[in-house]
Amino acid sequence: MKSDVFFVPEKGADIRARLSALLTLLRRIEKDLPYAKDEFIPVKFTIGDSRCIYNIHPEMVKPIIALIKKKKAKPFLFDTNVIYSGQRQNTVDHLNLVQNKGFGAYRIGAPYVIVDGIFGQDGKEFSISSDYIKKIKVPSFITMLDSLLVLSHVTGHILTGFASSLKNVAMGMVTRATKLAQHSSIKPHIIKDKCTMCGYCIVACSVRAISAKSAKAVINQEKCIGCGECICACKFDAIFIHWEDDDDLSTGLPMRAQVDHPDTFDGGVLFAKRMIDVAGFVLSKFKHKFFINFAFDITKECDCISTKTDPIIAKNIGILASSDPVSLDIATLDLINKENPQFRTLRPHGVCNKMLDYAAKTKLGNSKYNLIIL
């Protein structure tokens, strides 16, 4: 079976051209958004870190909100707090950043709500049927509403190589505990010979897990929460991850013991599988789902950690949308790979493909799609 994926190729990188492309898409998908009068419509959207300048522009969000209001429904933008340092770590600073980045209700036409409490701790806990993660905690509203619209800026990603709709749901629609559980025991180590003791990683670590010892940085593995911030902060490639140290819940064995099982042992694949199982659970709680991917300004890192100096690693593609997040993400990745042969060689090799294969295998969506070019 194939799912429809709508695609408007980018005709220009200025905001007018992008708005025109978005309006073309919205005219086509309007009938696929079955919103009822007075229905609350949660719109998952991240504003990105305070240093990120490549997040989706506020003007691109306005027409989407206007379309929902045209149907007399009640849209609200939402996100959760993050696990690493910065202004999105608690709701007070997060909401100030929302205003500073131009996403205030007056401009956008809908309020922005942080849905997991002041410190990212509020939600309901569920046991889930998964070989890779046993419990997840999600903001309470997730079990109370019928519809969900997910807006995602497509980027690279430090662990999976590709961040899009599925990552947006898996990391952005759970509380802090489940963000940490997905990262689990993926914890970095320092290569002493490469460490210059510049101290950037110490500043970047929100839980103070890194200290200086004998003129080298040292990570306290007990304190480390596996967020990966220090890897981005180190400019000397002195921090790396023993991927094989991660634990596999399906066997209870550390991944190091399973190097003979290539299906399971492959870099960040375990992390990716956790994300897919979490996304599958979250999405199962909504009757009507729709996803829009903005595949332009594709930076090496995701909006959580990219800055204005982050390299753009792929040509702009355009805007894609579907009710099937797997088909949508696969179509997006296919188009990026087609236009940018080097993309598939960027780190981490192959993890995103395996993540999407697993998503299709677990029936979160279809691996095949009809690309409908508008």
Residues making contact with ligand SF4 (CB under 6 A): 187-188, 190, 195-201, 204-205, 207, 209-210, 217, 219, 224-230, 233-234, 236, 238-239
Least Cβ distance, residue 132 to ligand SF4 (angstroms): 20
Half-sphere exposure of 110 (CA within 13 A, CB side): 27
Least Cβ distance, residue 247 to ligand SF4 (angstroms): 16
C-beta of 207 vs 372, nearer to ligand SF4: 207
Least Cβ distance, residue 212 to ligand SF4 (angstroms): 8
C-beta of 26 vs 255, nearer to ligand SF4: 255
Least Cβ distance, residue 309 to ligand SF4 (angstroms): 16
Least Cβ distance, residue 182 to ligand SF4 (angstroms): 13
At 13, list the tokens: 């990188």
Closest CA to 169 of 30, 365, 309: 365
What burial class does residue 237 get, using C-beta atoms within 10 Å of its C-beta: 0-12 exposed, 13-18 middle, 19+ buried?
Answer: exposed
Distance CA 25, CA 16 (A): 14
Least Cβ distance, residue 86 to ligand SF4 (angstroms): 12
Least Cβ distance, residue 192 to ligand SF4 (angstroms): 9
Distance CA 160, CA 274 (A): 12
Distance CA 89, CA 118 (A): 9
C-beta of 42 vs 120, nearer to ligand SF4: 120
C-beta of 187 vs 300, nearer to ligand SF4: 187
> Cβ distance 84 to 227 under 8 Å?
yes
Q: What distances in angstroms separate CA 34 from CA 22, 73, 120, one per listed residue?
A: 19, 10, 31
Q: What distances in angstroms separate CA 274 from CA 160, 182, 256, one per listed residue?
A: 12, 6, 18
C-beta of 198 vs 257, nearer to ligand SF4: 198
Distance CA 244, CA 257 (A): 8
Helix axis angle, 176-183 to 165-172, nearest 10°: 120
> Cβ distance 39 to 287 under 8 Å?
no
Least Cβ distance, residue 209 to ligand SF4 (angstroms): 4
C-beta of 107 vs 213, nearer to ligand SF4: 213
C-beta of 268 vs 325, nearer to ligand SF4: 268
Distance CA 107, CA 110 (A): 8
The pairing of strands 239-241 and 188-190 is: antiparallel
C-beta of 36 vs 212, nearer to ligand SF4: 212
Distance CA 53, CA 145 (A): 32
C-beta of 83 vs 292, nearer to ligand SF4: 83
Least Cβ distance, residue 275 to ligand SF4 (angstroms): 17
